[in-house]
Chains A and B, each alone.
Chain A
Amino acid sequence: MKLLLIVLIALAVSLLFWLIVTYNVLVRLRLRVKNAWAQIDVQLKRRHDLIPNLVEIAKGYMQYEKETLEKVIKARTQATQATAIKEKQDAENFLTSALRSLFAVVERYPDLKANQNMLKLHEELTSTENKISFARQYYNDEATRYNTSIKSFPTNIVAPVFNFKGEELFELEDLAQKEPPKVSF
């Protein structure tokens, strides 16, 4: 009887120990995901801040392309107002395509293209776009790691108890990449 008691106590203690460790691991993973998300936000904000400058410089050169510029401004306003992940994704995708069409138009204005400020801004935007995609990649990696750990056995039994829910992935899809590649023979 005494032996059974000892075994039971040992089991309970080790279970408790396992619970503490699991909880700590999950908290750490979730914090990392939060931090990764903050990184994306920083970069997105940076992009939003750059766009007014871009429009200001482009305005002087492109009198006949009001539509493209307005589209960019509208996309930016939408993107800054979005809050939920899904909403943000759509707004950012729209902004990316608007920017892409703007730069396609810029190609037609050699003066604008050679403008020192424009060159600098273009480099800055390229860099920010890259940072966004890297930050997103990092976020998705961390979120996947976190999701995997709360869904794998035996953590999946205790994760809901401590209110650990899976995180959504952040997909910034390139609309151009979604089209099937053209094959010519």
Chain B
Amino acid sequence: MPYSFIDIERQKSWIIKAVFLFLVIFYFIVAELIWLITKLFFISESSAIKAPSIFSPIEAVVVFFIVLIIAFIHWHFSTKNMIGRILELLGAVEPDPKDSYHYVFKNVIDEVSVATGGTKIRCYVIPTSSLNAFAVSDFKGDAVIGVTEGLLGKLNRSQLEAVVGHEAAHIASGDSLLTTITCSLFGVYSALFEGVSRALRKVSRGRRAGGIVIYLLIIYIVLLITQVVNFLLNMFLSRQKEYRADAISVRLTRNPISLAEALYTISRGWRGVGQISNSLSPIFITNPDYNKLEESQGVISNALSTHPPIESRLNILLDMAHSNISVLKEGIKPKQKIPIGEGIVEIKEEPKREWLIYKDNSWQGPFHLEELFNLGLNPNSWVSKLDEQFIKRASEDEVLNNAFSNRLTGKTTEEGYICPQCRQPLGEVLYEGAPVFKCYYCEGILANRNVISRIMAREDFAFSPSIAKSAEVVLKTYAQRVRQDRLRVVYELNCPRCKSKMWRGFYSYGYPIEIDRCETCQYTWFDKDELETLQYLFEKFKSGGY
């Protein structure tokens, strides 16, 4: 069993030669056919009487050399920066070291890399809540394993390790090099192919169908050829490699049950990774595009599909562990959610009664600072100082504002972001393992767009009944609220990062929660509980109850 870099190096050369040979042969057959047809066309026009043998060896040699050049150009440009282009297509990003989930993922990759004897593996994350994992590698020995955010949220450590082991097996055995080459040669063009065929349909429907159609048609045919080659090559990439990778994963991690659990969980979830996933399916652990063919056995489906049915993979793994599918199903428990606790704020002393506070629809006081805090003073409360006779927000007063700052219960950010409501420095905290900025007073949360998508994929915390209730209200009042604010563009708060005005609106029409978003920084401000409400709706939607 190939296991180390030395073995991979040996395999690499024949993989490259074989694929290149395939490319040349295929191009040659296509080009020769096109040439012969063209020739036939001209002969029948000029001298229809004589029909000599159309095939001439000299011409074939010429065609062969032209084809060789074309194949070489295609090869050269397609295999340049393969990994980078595939990662870009998938929208994969590097893991965030501050994020606890990503940190664990990175550690797991390092562990598996030790198990393979020190193969260097980089890791990437696809920010989507679907469940899938992939591996790519190139000639230089650069290897990448990527997983989706959803997978990180759903699997436990040993299951993740088993999945990473499976992907590492693809890398160690050289499969992933082959699949990466075919994907970069043909797979990445399928998006283009779809675009062109759509454009072609649109143009041909219109009246001015002129020169453009011909150009499009030529591009269409060229791309069609690449699609056919991709299809044929995928036929040769046998299903066997998935079984083999499962076996090596078990050999590395010595844990068939975890891999079976992971596969089962993945098969129950949604595994799509965006629109172009179908052409890149060979690099994934399970086919992102679910179809009947993949799940059936038989000569034809064996020849045509890239992944074996999950069921037979599960059976093999369970056989190793002397277990069966019903035990497995019982063994998989939904992840335990952490119940929500209440935060406690410590209070210090300070005398001098000089403050009035507007509370419960009336002015109360005078109080000293400590009493104000006990009464639940927050930076947004209306206050007035006795000797000043002037009403202002608590955060607008220097003394009070400093008092707030001194009372911060946790660390504040190095970047010095300020809460748009309370004007207090924000603290950096982990929300479901993802780094967000939180105000210690109003409990509003500032989060990056990437971070939000991560949080949506995770299910650590149970929701308190009040969140569930308010979320249901949000859903019910959706229709009215849409009509009210549809055309109004409201700018209310300043962005904590760039200080420009943030746009206020719904998170999306599917999730009608009012948030403030900074268009330049791509950061979103959630008031207290809004992020939880959004998450509640998202999970409800995922489980099909929406």
Q: Is the CB of B111 within 8 A of A131?
A: yes
Instruction: List B contacts of A124 (CB < 8 A).
Output: 107
Q: Is the CB of A39 within 8 A of B110?
A: no
User: Which one, B100, B107, B115, contacts A138 given CB within 8 A?
Assistant: B115
- B67 adjacent to chain A (CB < 8 Å): no
Q: Is the CB of A123 within 8 A of B114?
A: no
User: Which one, B4, B114, B252, B430, contacts A131 given CB within 8 A?
Assistant: B114
With A36-B117, A138-B117 as contacts: A123 and B103 at CB distance below 8 Å? yes
Q: Is the CB of B4 within 8 A of A135?
A: no
- A96 adjacent to chain B (CB < 8 Å): no
Instruction: List B contacts of A35 (CB < 8 A).
Output: 117-118
Docked complex Cα distance between A130 and B164 (Å): 14
Q: Is the CB of B117 within 8 A of A39?
A: yes
- B400 adjacent to chain A (CB < 8 Å): no
Docked complex Cα distance between A39 and B117 (Å): 8
User: Which one, B4, B112, B118, B161, contacts A39 given CB within 8 A?
Assistant: B118
Docked complex Cα distance between A45 and B4 (Å): 24
Instruction: List A contacts of B30 (CB < 8 A).
Output: none
A-B pairs with beta carbons under 8 Å apart, 27 shown: A32-B4, A35-B118, A39-B117, A43-B114, A123-B100, A123-B103, A123-B104, A123-B107, A124-B107, A127-B104, A127-B107, A127-B108, A127-B110, A127-B111, A130-B161, A131-B110, A134-B111, A134-B114, A134-B115, A135-B114, A135-B115, A137-B115, A137-B254, A138-B115, A138-B116, A138-B117, A142-B117
Interface residues of B in 11-42 (CB under 8 A from A): none
The 6 A-B pairs of least Cβ separation, nearest first, read A134-B115, A127-B107, A130-B111, A134-B114, A131-B114, A135-B114
Instruction: List A contacts of B254 (CB < 8 A).
Output: 137
Tell me how many residues of B have a C-beta within 8 Å of chain A.
Answer: 19
User: Which one, A39, A116, A142, contacts B114 given CB within 8 A?
Assistant: A39
Nearest Cβ on chain B to A79's Cβ, whole angstroms: 19
Instruction: List A contacts of B110 (CB < 8 A).
Output: 127, 131
Interface string of A110-149 (1 = CB under 8 A from B): 0000001001100110110011001101100010000000
Nearest Cβ on chain B to A169's Cβ, whole angstroms: 16
Docked complex Cα distance between A185 and B210 (Å): 83
Docked complex Cα distance between A142 and B116 (Å): 11
Nearest Cβ on chain A to B107's Cβ, whole angstroms: 4
Q: Which residue of A lies closest to B111 (CB)?
A: A130
Instruction: List B contacts of A127 (CB < 8 A).
Output: 104, 107-108, 110-111
Docked complex Cα distance between A130 and B103 (Å): 15
How many Cβ-Cβ contacts under 8 Å join chain A to chain B? 44
Docked complex Cα distance between A39 and B119 (Å): 12
Nearest Cβ on chain A to B346's Cβ, whole angstroms: 15
Instruction: List B contacts of A142 (CB < 8 A).
Output: 117
Docked complex Cα distance between A127 and B112 (Å): 10
Docked complex Cα distance between A138 and B100 (Å): 28
Name the residue among B118, B157, B254, B430 with the largest chain A CB count within 10 angstroms.
B118
Nearest Cβ on chain A to B49's Cβ, whole angstroms: 69
Docked complex Cα distance between A87 and B30 (Å): 68
Name the residue among A116, A134, A137 with the largest chain B CB count within 10 angstroms.
A134
- In this complex, the interface size class of chain A, counting residues with CB under 8 Å from chain B, is 10 to 19
Interface residues of B in 89-130 (CB under 8 A from A): 100, 103-104, 107-108, 110-112, 114-118
Instruction: List A contacts of B108 (CB < 8 A).
Output: 127
Nearest Cβ on chain A to B409's Cβ, whole angstroms: 13
Instruction: List B contacts of A126 (CB < 8 A).
Output: 107, 157
Instruction: List A contacts of B111 (CB < 8 A).
Output: 127, 130-131, 134
Docked complex Cα distance between A126 and B117 (Å): 19
Add 5 more A-B contacts to A123-B100, A137-B252, A138-B117 (CB < 8 A): A43-B114, A127-B107, A127-B111, A130-B161, A134-B115
Instruction: List A contacts of B161 (CB < 8 A).
Output: 130
Docked complex Cα distance between A142 and B117 (Å): 10
Instruction: List B contacts of A130 (CB < 8 A).
Output: 111, 161
Q: Which residue of A lies closest to B116 (CB)?
A: A138
Nearest Cβ on chain B to A19's Cβ, whole angstroms: 22
Instruction: List A contacts of B118 (CB < 8 A).
Output: 35, 39
Nearest Cβ on chain B to A176's Cβ, whole angstroms: 17
Q: Is the CB of B112 within 8 A of A134?
A: yes
Docked complex Cα distance between A33 and B403 (Å): 63
Docked complex Cα distance between A72 and B116 (Å): 30
Interface string of B228-255 (1 = CB under 8 A from A): 0000000000000000000000001010
Instruction: List B contacts of A131 (CB < 8 A).
Output: 110-111, 114
Interface residues of B in 108-158 (CB under 8 A from A): 108, 110-112, 114-118, 157
Instruction: List A contacts of B100 (CB < 8 A).
Output: 119, 123
Instruction: List B contacts of A116 (CB < 8 A).
Output: 430
Interface residues of B in 305-324 (CB under 8 A from A): none
Instruction: List A contacts of B112 (CB < 8 A).
Output: 134
Instruction: List A contacts of B104 (CB < 8 A).
Output: 123, 127
Nearest Cβ on chain B to A42's Cβ, whole angstroms: 9
Name the residue among B111, B114, B161 with the largest chain A CB count within 10 angstroms.
B114
Docked complex Cα distance between A124 and B103 (Å): 9
Nearest Cβ on chain A to B16's Cβ, whole angstroms: 24
Instruction: List A contacts of B116 (CB < 8 A).
Output: 138
Instruction: List B contacts of A32 (CB < 8 A).
Output: 4, 117
Q: Is the CB of A138 within 8 A of B103?
A: no
Nearest Cβ on chain B to A64's Cβ, whole angstroms: 25
Docked complex Cα distance between A39 and B111 (Å): 12
Interface string of B253-268 (1 = CB under 8 A from A): 0100000000000000
Docked complex Cα distance between A124 and B108 (Å): 11
Nearest Cβ on chain A to B168's Cβ, whole angstroms: 11
Docked complex Cα distance between A116 and B98 (Å): 12
Docked complex Cα distance between A32 and B114 (Å): 14
Interface string of B377-400 (1 = CB under 8 A from A): 000000000000000000000000
Docked complex Cα distance between A137 and B103 (Å): 24
Instruction: List B contacts of A119 (CB < 8 A).
Output: 100
Docked complex Cα distance between A36 and B110 (Å): 15
Nearest Cβ on chain B to A129's Cβ, whole angstroms: 9
Instruction: List B contacts of A135 (CB < 8 A).
Output: 114-115
Q: Which residue of B lies closest to A114 (CB)?
A: B341
Docked complex Cα distance between A43 and B114 (Å): 9
Docked complex Cα distance between A36 and B3 (Å): 13
Q: Which residue of A lies closest to B108 (CB)?
A: A127
Instruction: List A contacts of B252 (CB < 8 A).
Output: 134, 137
Nearest Cβ on chain B to A131's Cβ, whole angstroms: 5
Instruction: List A contacts of B117 (CB < 8 A).
Output: 32, 35-36, 39, 138, 142
Interface string of A135-171 (1 = CB under 8 A from B): 1011000100000000000000000000000000000
Nearest Cβ on chain A to B430's Cβ, whole angstroms: 8
